[in-house]
């Protein structure tokens, strides 16, 4: 029998542990700490696919591009996602390889620059809501609207910010390649940042587009299609909680799909934070998945052993 398969989604903010330490060197150190915990999955006998966020890193590229716009061409958003997939895949892959070597484990690791198909007719393109990049004055915002064709919205009195679509992921273009690598017992890093968003043109050819795909939804799609046994969503809290940050806050050790749906309908999991993670977990479990774990990276070992994290089950 094949070894069980785990898909683990780590957040882009997992690679930045301190807002004052955001250099590439700092991110590498953070990746090394995360890799130490991910190695526990490999050591436990799982085949592993790692996905990751890239929000802060894409923001850095966009800011550099903006500052240099009078010297060099600006970088399209789909290329920003591709850039971060390569750079973060390099950091995660190298630090994980080093950690496995320290543990006496020899395992090949590969990063797959991954495209994810979205629908031209997705309503998200008619109503872009995902903020990206820097804040601008109203005058700068008008200039970007005219010169770059961007959509910008005022952000709670802090200035104007570019917003893009966040469409639903439909198909992972490199899925067969990922599957082939797993069959050869390769640890795969893929679907970084939710994947590079691509659409089909009139000829059926793929083209990149300015959008942001939710990382947890794309990771869920991959986990479903690969028929993963375990889906882990790494985040900034030990466990999922109801009445979050209220005197009645209660952490949840175990959550069924029915309970998760009930709490979601009650508004316990906001769209901007835990909501997409819970929705992805429900989707995975309703399509044959056995278990989802939501917890912090440094608690992975305890969570796999059932001693921490929130465990969602059918």
The one catalytic residue in 11, 12, 133, 194 is 12
Q: Is 130 annotated as catalytic? A: yes
143 is catalytic: no
Q: CA 91, CA 30: separation in Å to the nearest integer?
A: 10
**Could you tell me which of 283, 193, 137 has the C-alpha nearest to residue 12?**
193
Query: Which one of 13, 143, 145, 261 is the catalytic residue?
Result: 13
215 is catalytic: yes
Those residues whose C-beta lies under 8 Å from the C-beta of residue 103, and which sit 6 or more positions away, are 39, 43
Rg (alpha carbons) of the chain, rounded to whole number: 20
Specify the DSSP element, H or E, that contains 206. Answer: strand 206-208
Strands 196-200 and 206-208: antiparallel
Q: Which of 192, 195, 215, 239 is catalytic?
A: 215
Q: Which residue among the candidates 59, 107, 130, 159 is catalytic per the annotation?
A: 130
The structure tokens listed for 33 are 């700490």
- Strand ranges across the sheet with 115-117: 171-172, 115-117, 196-200, 206-208
Q: How far apart are the first and last CA of the chain?
A: 24
Selecting among 11, 194, 277, 309, the annotated active-site residue is: 277
Per the CB < 8 A criterion, the answer to whether 112 and 190 are in contact is yes
Take residue 301 and report the two structure tokens written for it. 């070992």
- Residue 133 near residue 80 (C-beta atoms within 8 A): no
Show the beta-strand stretches assigned E in 57-126.
109-111, 115-117
Measured in degrees and rounded to the nearest 5, phi and psi for residue 66 equal -65, -45
Which residues are catalytic, by number? 12-13, 130, 215, 277
């Amino acid at each position: 029998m094949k070894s069980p398969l785990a898909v683990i989604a780590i957040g882009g903010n997992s690679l930045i542990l301190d807002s004052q330490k955001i250099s590439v060197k700092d991110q590498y150190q953070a990746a090394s700490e995360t890799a130490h915990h991910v190695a526990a999955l490999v050591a436990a006998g799982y085949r592993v696919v790692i996905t990751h966020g890239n929000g802060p890193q894409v923001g850095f590229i966009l800011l550099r591009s903006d500052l240099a716009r009078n010297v060099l061409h600006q970088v399209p958003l789909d290329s920003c996602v591709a850039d971060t997939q390569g750079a973060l895949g390099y950091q995660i892959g190298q630090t994980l390889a080093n950690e496995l070597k320290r543990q006496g484990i020899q395992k090949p690791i590969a990063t797959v620059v991954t495209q994810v198909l979205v629908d031209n007719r997705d309503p998200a393109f008619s109503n872009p809501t995902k903020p990206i990049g820097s804040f601008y004055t109203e005058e700068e915002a008008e200039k970007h609207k005219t010169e770059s064709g961007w959509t910008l919205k005022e952000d709670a009195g802090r200035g104007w910010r570019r917003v893009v679509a966040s469409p639903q992921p439909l198909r992972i273009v490199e899925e067969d390649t990922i599957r082939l690598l797993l069959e050869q017992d390769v640890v795969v890093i893929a679907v970084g940042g939710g994947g590079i968003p691509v659409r089909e043109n009139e000829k059926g050819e793929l083209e990149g587009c300015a959008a942001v795909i939710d990382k947890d939804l794309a990771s869920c799609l991959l986990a479903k299609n690969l028929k993963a046994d375990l889906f882990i969503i790494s985040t900034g809290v030990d466990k999922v909680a109801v009445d979050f940050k209220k005197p009645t806050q209660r952490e949840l050790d175990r959550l069924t799909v029915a309970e998760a749906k009930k709490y979601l309908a009650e508004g316990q999991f906001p769209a901007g934070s835990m909501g997409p993670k819970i929705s992805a977990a429900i989707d995975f479990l309703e399509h044959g998945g056995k278990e989802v774990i939501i917890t912090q990276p440094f608690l992975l070992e305890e969570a796999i052993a059932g001693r921490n994290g929130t465990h969602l089950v059918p």
